[in-house]
Amino acid sequence: MRLLAMSKKGGNMKEETYRSTLVQVIQWMDCNGHSNSKIRRIVDLVLNHNQEIDQAISYANREEEVTKQILQQRREREIRQSKSS
């Protein structure tokens, strides 16, 4: 995982610090009602799926759009079903 450009000296320590920080961020978000938020998904993608931040943001944005489309389709189907009943 590469969050920031690191010098060779102390690079592993910095990387572990970043990883530990992201773990704490995820834990805080989960404990404070943000477990289904887009930012939580972005942090998860960076921390657990080795994505760069730009990739993670793009992926989370695409997921959000797909979710919106699915929810809209469900609403439309429910409306059609309630009208036909």
pLDDT of residue 85: 73
List the one residue out of 48, 15, 42, 17 whose CA is nearest residue 29: 42
Residues lower than pLDDT 70 in the chain: 1-11
Q: Tell me the pTM.
A: 0.73
pLDDT of residue 83: 87
pLDDT of residue 68: 96
Query: Can you tell me the distance from the alpha carbon of 47 to that of 64, in angstroms, rounded to the nearest whole number?
Result: 19
pLDDT of residue 1: 41
C-alpha angle 79-82-85 in degrees, rounded to nearest 5: 150
pLDDT of residue 84: 86
